[in-house]
Amino acid sequence: MTAVLEIRNLHVSIDGKPILKGVNLTVRQGEVHALMGRNGSGKSTLAYALMGHPAYTVDEGQIIFDGQDLLEMEADARSRAGLFLAFQYPVAVPGVTLANFLRASINARRKEANPEDKGISIQEFRRLLMGKMQSLKVDPSFAGRYLNEGFSGGEKKRAEILQLATLEPKIAVLDETDSGLDIDALRVVADGINNLIGPNLGVLVITHYEQFLNYIKPQFVHVMYDGRVVEEGGFDLAEKIQAQGYDWVAEKYATA
């Protein structure tokens, strides 16, 4: 059965200030969506609200994922259910190696599916991780490094894509994964994402850098303005943004 993420009339505020003002969006497994918009339009707020960040208050609306009400679930439960968020600015976790973090995450998901599960063996996990690293062209030394500590911007984003590959979620939200990357790192990260896209993974790419979408071509494009999705279309909409920028969006919806 295909998993579906449904966002219905979502209103979200931070410290009493409305940010999202009625977002409607649906992403299915196997689909690639892009969410575009200027800085401050509400894109990252949507990402954090989806994962249950405590600073973001849902004032109205629903988030249904795979038939479950996400608003009734804690952030870790949302992850175990198959929702993944790649952060725009991944944080460092000193003392926890990337390998140990990933093994603990896998075991948490297995335990959720079967409380009697004893967890993935070290040998099985090593084979899994090395296979994923090889397919994504990630340096094997990453496994023994503390999570994101001392990582360059490109290394942090590649580590996020490695987590995505290893955890195999149903829907992945990539919050400005292209942010801060030079052109070479951008290509490497995009290649990694493209290797993972398929019938078992739905992707929502959040970006304001339309060039990134030349590497990851979405089937569906949505444009946010002032906390709402105001324009939707295919890849031609991203091409229009690339050619004309966002001024026409502001002019069209400033008084809407």
CA–CA dist 144, 52 (Å, integer): 29
The pLDDT value recorded for residue 178 is: 80
Model pLDDT for residues 185-216, shown as the tens digit of each residue: 788 888 889 989 999 999 999 987 777 888 89
CA–CA dist 129, 61 (Å, integer): 39
Identity at 100, one-letter amino acid code: N
Residue 89: CB atoms within 10 Å: 12
Q: Quick check: 12 and 58 in contact, CB under 8 A?
A: yes
Range of the domain at 137: 4-253
CA–CA dist 220, 33 (Å, integer): 5
What global pTM score does this model have? 0.92
CA–CA dist 63, 151 (Å, integer): 34
The pLDDT value recorded for residue 90 is: 86
The pLDDT value recorded for residue 153 is: 84
CA–CA dist 66, 64 (Å, integer): 7
* For residues 90-110, average pLDDT: 93
Q: How far is CA 239 from the centre of its chain?
A: 22
CA–CA dist 61, 37 (Å, integer): 21
The pLDDT value recorded for residue 255 is: 65
Strand ranges, E, within the chain: 4-14, 17-28, 32-36, 57-65, 68-69, 83-86, 93-97, 146-147, 171-175, 202-206, 220-225, 228-233
State the angle between helix axes of 153-167 and 183-196 in degrees (0 to 180), rounded to the nearest 10. Answer: 0
CA–CA dist 61, 46 (Å, integer): 12
Model pLDDT for residues 39-87, shown as the tens digit of each residue: 899 999 999 999 999 999 999 999 999 999 999 999 999 999 999 999 8
Between residues 64 and 112, the one the model is more confident about: 64
The pLDDT value recorded for residue 96 is: 96
The count of structural domains within the chain is: 1
The domain that holds 157 is classified in CATH as 3.40.50.300
* For residues 80-102, average pLDDT: 92
The pLDDT value recorded for residue 183 is: 82
The pLDDT value recorded for residue 163 is: 93
246: region left, alpha or beta (phi > 0 left; psi from -120 to 50 alpha):
alpha
Q: Where are the alpha helices (DSSP H) in 114-234?
A: 122-136, 153-167, 183-196
Mean per-residue pLDDT over the chain, rounded = 92
% of the chain at pLDDT higher than 90 = 70
Between residues 211 and 14, the one the model is more confident about: 14
